[in-house]
Chain A
Amino acid sequence: MTTHANWWYGGVLVLVVLTVLLALMAGTVWIGPAQVLHALGQPNSQAFVTVFSLRIPRILSSLICGGSLAVAGALFQAVFRNPIADPSILGISAAADFFKLGGAMLLPWLPGRNWVMAMVGGLVALAILTSGRALANPYRLIIVGVALDATFVGLQQLLSSGATTISHSTFNGLTWGDTTTLLILGVLGLAVALVIAPWANYLKLTDSALQNVGVPVSVIRWSLLLLGMYLAVSVTAVVGAIPFVGIVIPNIARRLVGHDYQTVLPFSMLAGAWLMLAADTLGRTVIVPSEISAATMMAVIGGPFVIILLQRGRGFHGMSTR
Chain B
Amino acid sequence: MECQRVSYHYPRQTQGLTDLTGIFPPGKVTTIIGPNGAGKSTLLKLLARQLAPQTGQILLNDHPLEQFAPKEFAQQIAMVTQHHQLYDEMTVREVVATGRLPYHGLLQAVPAAEVTPYVTAAGLTSLADQMIQELSGGQQQRAWLAAALAQEPSVLLLDEPTTYLDVRYQQQLMTQMRRLAAKGLTVIQVLHDINQAFRVSDWLWLLQEGRLVTTGTPDQLRDADLLAQTFATQVEIVDVPRLGPYIVQLPE
Contacts and interface: CB of A to CB of B under 8 A. Distances in A.
Nearest to B78: A212
B106 A206 contact: no
Greatest chain B CB density within 10 A among A196, A199, A201 is at A201
A168 interface: no
Contacts of A219: 106
A205 B86 contact: yes
A317 B48 CA distance: 27
B68 to A, nearest CB: 9
A212 B87 contact: no
A214 B71 CA distance: 4
B20 interface: no
A205 B85 contact: yes
A213 B74 contact: yes
B88 interface: yes
Interface string B62-74: 0000000111111
Contacts of A205: 85-87, 98
B107 A81 contact: no
Interface in B82-96: 83-90, 94
Contacts of A204: 86-90
Given A212-B79, A214-B71, A215-B101, A317 B87 contact: yes
Contacts of A198: 107, 109
A216 interface: yes
Please classify how large the interface on chain A is, using the bins under 10, 10 to 19, 20 to 34, 35 or more. Answer: 20 to 34
A263 B102 CA distance: 24
Contacts, number: 72
A213 B70 CA distance: 8
A206 B85 contact: yes
Contact of A203 (B70, B87, B107): B87
B90 A212 contact: no
B88 to A, nearest CB: 4
Interface string B88-128: 11100010001101100011010000000000000000000
A204 B86 CA distance: 5
B101 A214 contact: yes
A214 B73 contact: yes
Contacts of B71: 214
Given A205-B98, A214-B70, A259 B79 contact: no
A213 B98 contact: yes
Interface in A139-185: none
Given A198-B109, A212-B77, 15 more contacts: A81-B88, A202-B98, A202-B101, A204-B88, A205-B87, A205-B98, A209-B85, A209-B98, A211-B49, A211-B50, A212-B79, A213-B102, A214-B72, A214-B74, A317-B87
Given A195-B107, A205-B98, A220-B106, A212 B88 contact: no
Contacts of A317: 87-88
B87 A206 contact: yes
8 contacts: A81-B88, A198-B109, A204-B87, A204-B88, A211-B70, A213-B101, A214-B71, A215-B106
B87 A318 contact: yes
A208 interface: yes
Contact of B84 (A195, A199, A206, A216): A206
Q: Which 10 A-B pairs have the closest CB atoms?
A: A214-B74, A214-B71, A204-B88, A214-B70, A259-B89, A81-B87, A214-B102, A213-B101, A209-B85, A213-B74
Contacts of A195: 107
A199 B88 contact: no
Contacts of A259: 88-90, 131
